[in-house]
């Protein structure tokens, strides 16, 4: 790598979209570049702790679902650098708009792992964001959150607030109308919105190559007249650097940015998916070599910042933390099944009333048991 204080930027693609990388797969980085990020050694260790805890949480949540102790779950493994690196660049006054896979980004901003489990356990209380935390609730309908993030940034601009919004979405979301509407509106009104695409290579079983004919997702920014950048999404430093720069531009009236973080979903889409049906073991193994957690650990070890004893201690502490979260989750009182009907409308419409009556009748007939399927 050339001696420089700037991250390595390649623009080999047709439209000259920059590709940012700081850490290579073996954890090597130009020290001056790392220093230019303004991260102290304590910050780097904190980022690493977030990533490790997120991975342990993910594995635990998956196991709980398989044991019938969690409703369903969307794993994030492989995307820890995307979420922690970008989340770390946010300020409390910024607003964050997640889709359904951003557990680490939610928690780094002040929600709890317990909330994540509660939500995926089918209890809407898990979607309750603490008053002082500028996180929006999860959007399940693909790409809808992009318009929310644009609208919020526009409102903040009108009010003269110096804060940005960030919105997370996948490669599949770029085929939705809301993607275009969110980006176009943000560009025209120059809102401080960071569009953060986690290109994890699949939209359920649809591979990236079938999602769009564009060489990069980042180049779609050109059509809207805004900056677009591709980053190595398994390199936490590159993600942090690109997000920080985009957020600063957004906060200072410089308008929106589209970031494409190139990464990989190491696990299934959700627990309702079987990824072995559409991708090979070899492909997964290749990406495992680029594991974002391993990469930062190698870097810290090379910098003599991290020992085997540190690793062991962290693993034990993170496992204990998540074990406690699971205990708290399982100790929560069961919610009433009728809750499903209660929270969408202030006044329940006639058709929901009919369905609720039908459910009550069914429960009466079956001694309170729900249907198995």
Ligand X SMILES: Cc1ncc(C[n+]2csc(CCOP(=O)(O)OP(=O)(O)O)c2C)c(N)n1
> Which positions are annotated as active-site residues?
265, 269, 278
Nearer to ligand X, 198 or 241 (CB): 198
Taking the least distance from each CB to ligand X, the nearer of 135 and 139 is 139
Q: How far apart are alpha carbons 343 and 349 in whole angstroms?
A: 12
Nearest to 250 by CA among 218, 227, 276: 227
**Shortest distance, CB of residue 105 to ligand X, whole angstroms?**
12
Work out how close the CB of 80 gets to ligand X at its nearest, in angstroms, rounded to a whole number. Answer: 14
- State the first-to-last Cα distance of the chain, in angstroms, to the nearest integer: 56
Nearest to 71 by CA among 335, 261, 274, 253: 335
142 binds ligand X (CB under 6 A): yes
Separation in Å, CA 190 to CA 101, 193, 203, 253, 372: 27, 8, 29, 7, 51
170 binds ligand X (CB under 6 A): yes
Binding-site member from 204, 284, 332, 356 for ligand X (CB under 6 A):
204
Order of all β-strands in the sheet with 228-232:
8-10, 19-21, 228-232, 257-262, 193-199, 165-170, 95-97
Contact stretch for ligand X (CB under 6 A) within 106-114, 198-206, 224-232, 325-333: 198-206
User: Whole-angstrom Cα distance, residue 177 to residue 316?
Assistant: 45
- Whose CA is closest to 95, among 33, 146, 35, 27? 146
- CA atoms 349, 351, 354, 358: torsion sign: negative
Q: Closest distance between ligand X and the C-beta of residue 261, in Å?
A: 11
The footprint of ligand X on residues 85-124 (CB under 6 A) is 101
Candidate ranges 27-35, 147-155, 169-177, 336-344; the one touching ligand X (CB under 6 A) = 169-177
Stretch that binds ligand X, among 119-127, 170-178, 183-191, 342-350 (CB under 6 A): 170-178
Pick the closer one to ligand X by CB: 121 or 170: 170
364 vs 328: CA distance, rounded Å: 31
How far is 86 from 233, CA to CA, in rounded Å?
10
Among 200, 241, 263, 267, binds ligand X (CB under 6 A): 200
Residue 357, classed as helix, strand or coil, is helix
Dihedral sign of CA atoms 294, 77, 195, 175 in order: positive
Kindly tell me which of 48 and 100 has the beta carbon lying closer to ligand X.
100
State the number of binding residues for ligand X (CB under 6 A): 15
Alpha-carbon dihedral of residues 202, 246, 148, 190, nearest 10 degrees? Answer: -130
Q: Which is nearer to ligand X, 193 or 211 (CB)?
A: 211
Cβ neighbors of 81 (< 8 A, separation 6 or more) are 51, 233, 234, 235, 236, 239, 263, 292, 293, 295, 296
Pick one of 196, 202, 264, 329: the residue that binds ligand X (CB under 6 A).
202
Q: Which of 90, 105, 173, 246 binds ligand X (CB under 6 A)?
A: 173
Q: Which of 193, 199, 228 is nearest to 212 (CA)?
A: 199
What whole-number distance in Å separates Cα of residue 303 and Cα of residue 106?
Answer: 30
Return the number of the residue (142 or 186) whose C-beta is nearest ligand X. 142
User: With CB under 6 A as the contact rule, which of the stretches 6-14, 167-175, 227-235, 309-317 interacts with ligand X?
Assistant: 167-175
Among 31, 38, 141, 207, binds ligand X (CB under 6 A): 141
Least separation in angstroms between residue 168's CB and ligand X is 9
Closer CB to ligand X, 8 or 174, in the complex: 174
| Region near ligand X per CB under 6 A, out of 103-111, 136-144, 146-154, 342-350 | 136-144
The reply to whether 34 sits near ligand X by the rule CB under 6 A is: no
Residue facing ligand X at closest CB distance: 170
Among 52, 147, 203, 326, binds ligand X (CB under 6 A): 203
Residue selected from 269, 290, 295, 299 as contacting ligand X according to rule CB under 6 A: 269
Work out the angle between the directed axes of helices 80-89 and 236-251 (0-180°, nearest 10). 40
Residue 146 and residue 183 in contact, taking contact as beta carbons nearer than 8 Å: yes
Contact footprint for ligand X (CB under 6 A): 101, 140-142, 169-173, 200, 202-204, 265, 269
């Amino acid at each position: 790598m050339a001696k420089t204080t700037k991250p390595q930027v390649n623009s080999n693609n047709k439209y000259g979209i920059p590709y940012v990388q700081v850490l290579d797969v073996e954890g090597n980085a130009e020290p001056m570049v790392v220093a230019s990020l303004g991260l102290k050694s304590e910050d780097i260790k904190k980022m690493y702790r977030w990533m490790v805890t997120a991975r342990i949480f993910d594995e635990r949540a998956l196991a709980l679902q398989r044991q019938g102790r969690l409703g369903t779950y969307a794993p994030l493994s492989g995307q820890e650098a995307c979420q922690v690196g970008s989340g770390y660049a946010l300020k409390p006054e910024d607003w964050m708009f997640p889709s359904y896979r951003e557990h680490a980004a939610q928690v780094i901003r002040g929600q709890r792992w317990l909330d994540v489990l509660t939500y995926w356990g089918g209890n809407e209380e898990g979607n309750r964001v603490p008053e002082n935390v500028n996180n929006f609730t999860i959007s399940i309908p693909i790409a809808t959150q992009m318009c929310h993030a644009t609208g919020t940034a526009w409102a903040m601009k009108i009010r003269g607030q110096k804060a940005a919004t960030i919105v997370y979405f996948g490669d599949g979301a770029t085929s939705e109308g809301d993607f275009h509407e969110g980006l176009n509106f943000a560009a025209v009104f120059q809102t401080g919105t960071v569009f953060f695409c986690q290109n994890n290579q699949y939209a359920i079983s649809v591979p990236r190559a079938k999602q769009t004919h564009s060489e990069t997702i980042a180049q779609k920014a050109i059509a809207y007249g805004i900056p677009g950048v591709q980053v190595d999404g398994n390199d936490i430093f590159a993600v942090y650097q690109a997000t920080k720069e985009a957020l600063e531009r957004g906060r200072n009236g410089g308008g929106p940015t589209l970031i494409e973080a190139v990464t990989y979903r190491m696990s299934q889409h959700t627990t309702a998916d079987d990824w072995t049906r559409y991708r090979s073991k070899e492909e997964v193994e290749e990406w495992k070599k680029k594991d974002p957690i391993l990469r930062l650990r190698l870097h810290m070890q090379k910098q003599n910042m991290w020992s085997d004893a540190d690793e062991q201690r962290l693993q034990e502490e993170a496992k204990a933390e998540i074990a406690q979260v699971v205990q708290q989750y399982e100790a929560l009182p069961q919610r009433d099944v009728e809750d499903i009907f209660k929270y969408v409308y202030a006044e329940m419409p006639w058709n929901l009333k009919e369905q609720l009556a039908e459910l009550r009748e069914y429960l009466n007939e079956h001694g309170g048991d729900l249907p198995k399927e």
